[in-house]
Chains A and B, each alone.
Chain A
Amino acid sequence: MTTAHAEASKGTLPHEPEKATAEGRNKVLAFWLFLGGEAVLFGTLFATFLALRNQTNDGPSANELFHLPLVAAATFLLLVSSLTSVFAIQAMHRNQPALLRNWLLVTVVLGAAFLGLEIYEFSEYIRHEKFGMTTSAFSSAFYTLVGFHGAHVAFGIVWIAVLIGQLSYKGLTVVTAPKIYVSAMYWHFIDVVWVFIFTVVYLLGKVG
């Protein structure tokens, strides 16, 4: 009651600004559909990886390659970034643009840290383990699946960074809110995909 009253007194933004306009609702719906397509995309990559994961062609195998502590750290960063993006959306729903911006910044920083660890991991494999794209069918499948996810993370970082910029000079409106909401959906999706990658690629590679 009190929060609703507070909002009404500010009179600037509806409670769920991302769904306040028809354009906004369309955008959210279409983005759900798009994520359905993305799920098929990653599903196909996972299927490919599972089919080829033991085809090491005398190159390094998953068990020799992976260092779980590093991957666990990366996982931790990404999972937390998903949480901070939830905080961002909550701040948006409470119409607190400054807090929203800060949480988005934290999300981007965590995402960048994750990406940094992934780049470090890949470069270690290539330099020290002689494990490149051309080494084996397993390596091709590994780099393609994990790399596709990494490219999604990179795209998400740039996207959310642009939105932060936009937020600072346009403010939080019914036009910017759906964009932010949709980018948060995207970020959660990336996170979910990573959970599968952690399980199917890394855990199964170590113990499976």
Chain B
Amino acid sequence: MDWITTVDHKKIAILYLWAGGIFFGIGGLEAILIRIQLIKPMNTFLDAQTFNELITMHGTTMIFLGVMPVIFALMNAVIPLQIGARDVAFPFLNALGFWTFLFGGILLNLSWIMGGAPDAGWTAYTPLSSSSYSTTHGVDFYTIGLQIAGLGTLIGGINFLATIITMRAPGMSFMRMPMFAWATFITSAIILFAFPAVTVGLVLLTFDRILGANFFETSGGGNPVLWQHIFWIFGHPEVYILILPAFGIISEVIPTFSRKRLFGYSSMVFATILIAFLGFMVWAHHMFTTGLGPVANALFSVSTMLIAVPTGIKIFNWLFTMWGGQVRFTTPNLFAVGFIPTFTMGGVTGVMLASAPADFQFHDTYFVVAHFHYVIVGGLVLGLFAGLHYWWPKMFGRMLSEHLGKWTFWTFIIGFHMTFFVQHFLGLMGMQRRVFTYLPNQQFDLLNLISTIGAGLMGVGMLFFLANVFITSRKPADAADDPWEDGRTLEWTISSPPPEYNFKQTPLVRGLDAFWKEKTAGHKGMTPSEPVGSIHMPSATVHPFLMSVGIFIAGLGFMFSRDDFGNSFMSFLFNNYIVTALGLLITFGSMLMRSLFDDHGWHIEPEELEGR
């Protein structure tokens, strides 16, 4: 019950981690099944329909329900601490964002047991996703589930923007903010401007499928390419929503374990902003082969290649940070250092794909699959592992085992390169993506076998991580405040895990890497910027949970509103939108309650603070 009503950002972080971890596991199992099917030519392990459902759900689950929540987990756990705040700007909204994400994710995954998962690919291209080609409720689960989960992401994004703008500790100007806080800030801005576009896209597709609208139906005057534009004007910035936090994590981990300040801090900041800006300008590079014409293709080609410039700045800055530093290869730093070449390879194939004429050859082959897995797995997932190992002691008060951590790293990264490196060649030789099997003797056989074995090895790496987490959870929570001993930022100045009010006294920030600055000046901790006083805390509340349950019920009701249940009572409930109305009533009722009964929270008094 405590977990359902909590509004504490540190607890919400753990909720995000659990939920994201479970969805990540589901997405990983789907990936393993896909790779088993492709282990040999003409395999009959899965049928085509199941394969389509698996690739769709693998992509959708991993991006929206797997890695994004884990990113949000780290942001929630770290950001208020890094900027010296007692909480996020809107604790209530923070909880609401988590619950809408979770119920959206549950709705999406219910499709497996309620008549068929979505099968139109994670991009849900029309007309494949139209009701004439995708006849089960699968795509409805996709549109409505993602809609609800997306709402949570948008709420989270706005919350982090407001938090970072208004709640930084005294002295922490924007140019003294840690890079992970910067990454979160820019990522949240991208979320704010990208997610409403997909909101609209999903609404239009829902209307097409459930209300018989004609947005993408050519027979009614609609235009399927419109879907691609709307999807990718969201979908391309989404790539940066995923990778910028990883950049932020790497920029924290590498300086800590090099005992040097980040090389070129301000160029890192501006590179981040520039990447975010360019991220919105390049969506049509996903659509070179739809026939936009040479002028559009050329423009989008050039703007895409431009992104390599700020990204290259970042890569070199990390290298220069390590240069001459006292580098320690702890598990987090192994992941961070492993990230650099792996991500760079993904970036290089990105430039190759950005060349429109070459893209006509690469399009829809395994070359593309290899490229984006190098970026998202070799980039983001390695970054997340670095971040999780790095901040685990701060989140839970326990150090993960270094020994098991290194096993995780080596099995995972070797498995990763085995899986995806060979896919470049499969793609260049013409193996198509999204196809459930292939003919023998096209030189695809051996490389696919290697790829599948690699995927298994990545799975083993995940098992090492889970074992590490399990074993660690049995140990006493005795991590030091600054367990890596070279912590540079504010989160390492308070106990692990932090008290619920984070900072007894808000710290005074005197420079970049605030804690490091105090350490080099010979101080043990931060100078407080205020006297010890009563601390205002928000109250726990069940409303975010109830609102999300309401939206969940309304979504299910709307989805089945045109169905014939064969049971007249059920048909009556759904066909008259009674279930939908009931769900919305719960949501709006909760909102009304929240609005009418002000909750002024409670205070922790100074005597209580001293008592601990």
Contact = CB atoms under 8 A, between A and B. Distances in A.
A6 interface: no
A45 B197 CA distance: 9
Nearest to A58: B221
Interface residues of A, number: 39
Contact of B193 (A36, A55, A133, A137): A36
Contacts of B330: none
A56 B196 contact: no
A41 B200 contact: yes
B161 A33 contact: yes
B239 interface: no
Contact of B166 (A26, A52, A136, A140): A26
A134 B211 CA distance: 7
Contact of B161 (A30, A45, A144, A163): A30
B200 to A, nearest CB: 4
A166 interface: yes
Q: What's the dominant secondary structure at chain B's contact region? A: helix
B230 interface: yes
A137 B196 contact: no
Contact of A22 (B154, B166, B211): B166
Nearest to B222: A137
Nearest to A139: B214
Contact of A48 (B199, B211, B215): B215
Nearest to A138: B221
A1 interface: no
Given A52-B215, A137-B221, A141-B215, A37 B207 contact: no
Contacts of A38: 196
Given A41-B200, A137-B222, A162 B595 contact: yes
Given A34-B158, A133-B212, A144-B213, A52 B223 contact: yes
A137 B214 contact: yes
A167 to B, nearest CB: 12
B592 A26 contact: no
Given A37-B192, A175-B598, A137 B220 contact: yes
A192 interface: no
A34 B156 CA distance: 11
A174 to B, nearest CB: 11
Given A48-B215, A48-B226, A144-B213, A37 B154 contact: yes
A22 B601 CA distance: 14
A15 interface: no
Nearest to A55: B221
B195 interface: yes
A25 interface: yes
B162 interface: yes
In which size bucket is the chain B interface? 35 or more
Interface string A41-78: 10011011001100111000000000000000000000
Q: Of A29, A33, A36, A143, which is in contact with the most chain B CB atoms at under 10 Å from its CB?
A: A33
B113 interface: no
Contact of A51 (B161, B217, B223): B223
Contact of A144 (B193, B204, B212, B223): B204
Interface string B188-204: 00001111110111011
Given A133-B207, A140-B222, A30 B90 contact: yes
Contacts of B596: 162, 165-166
Given A26-B89, A44-B230, A51-B226, A136 B196 contact: no
A150 to B, nearest CB: 14
A140 B193 contact: no
Contacts of B200: 41, 44-45, 48
A207 interface: no
B299 to A, nearest CB: 18
A186 to B, nearest CB: 14
Contacts of A37: 154, 158, 192-193, 195-196
Contacts of B212: 133-134
A163 B159 CA distance: 23
A188 interface: no
Contact of B158 (A33, A44, A45, A141): A33
Contact of A33 (B162, B214, B226, B233): B162
A93 interface: no
Nearest to B89: A26
A179 interface: yes
Interface in B465-501: none
Contacts of A170: 598
Contacts of A30: 89-90, 158-159, 161-162
B317 to A, nearest CB: 29
B211 A133 contact: yes
A142 B217 CA distance: 16
A79 to B, nearest CB: 25
Given A44-B197, A57-B221, A144 B592 contact: no
Nearest to A40: B196
Given A30-B161, A33-B158, A48-B200, A136 B595 contact: no
Contacts of A36: 192-193
A36 to B, nearest CB: 6
A57 B220 contact: yes
Interface of B: 89-90, 154, 158-159, 161-162, 165-166, 192-197, 199-201, 203-204, 207-208, 211-215, 217, 220-223, 226, 229-230, 233, 592, 595-596, 598
Interface of A: 22, 25-26, 29-30, 33-34, 36-38, 40-41, 44-45, 47-48, 51-52, 55-57, 133-141, 143-144, 162-163, 165-166, 170, 175, 179
Shortest 7 CB-CB contacts between residues of A and residues of B: A55-B221, A137-B221, A140-B213, A41-B196, A57-B221, A44-B200, A40-B196
18 contacts: A25-B166, A26-B90, A29-B162, A30-B158, A41-B196, A44-B196, A48-B204, A48-B215, A48-B226, A52-B222, A55-B220, A57-B214, A137-B215, A137-B221, A144-B204, A144-B207, A162-B592, A166-B595
Given A56-B221, A162-B596, 8 more contacts: A41-B200, A44-B196, A47-B229, A48-B200, A48-B215, A52-B226, A55-B220, A144-B207
